[in-house]
Amino acid sequence: MALNPGDPAPDFSLPATGDETLSLAGLKGRKAVLYFYPKDDTSGCTLEAQAFNALTDAFAAADTVVIGVSPDPMKSHDKFREKYGLGFPLASDETKAMLEAYGVWVEKSMYGRKYMGVERTTVLIDRDGTIAQVWPKVKVPGHADAVLAAAKAL
């Protein structure tokens, strides 16, 4: 089920780094970027995290919270965040309920083998909890800059 601009953002409550629990209700009144990625400490996911991290101050100036979401366990998130000095939280969805609600837990294929995994996707949510923009099948180079521009314009 693909989300579209104007749709209400699906509700969620997930454990996150820094012993936080992040929820849609907790984000109310702020703009939020949820970027969904397949796996901690892999090349593409590391580059994406570093790109968002480099813009942490600019996102804060745009009153926008950045949250990385993957099915990795909290222990993995904590190590990944510490290793790269990430200044934003990483949320863990080991049950995949939120990933499914946002339509990013999909069948993938590599070398002819089919498996379930996270499709790299970013969702921008407005202050009222409505989907403002969706970037499916993200290509990492330049992506964080495009998301920042959209957040500033919102």
Tell me how far CA of residue 152 lies from CA of 25, 62, 92, 132, 137, in angstroms. Answer: 22, 5, 27, 12, 22
Instruction: Report residue 64 as tokens.
Output: 């926008």
* Verdict on whether the full-model pTM lies above 0.85: yes
Q: Which amino acid is at 7?
A: D
**Closest alpha carbon to 143 in 29, 60, 66, 62:** 66
Q: What is the pLDDT of residue 1?
A: 61
Name the residue with tokens 């919270």. Answer: 65
Residues with a catalytic annotation lie at: 45
pLDDT tens sequence across 20-55: 999 999 999 999 999 999 999 998 899 999 999 999
**What is the rounded CA–CA span in Å between residue 79 and residue 96?**
21
**What is the rounded CA–CA span in Å between residue 1 and residue 48?**
24
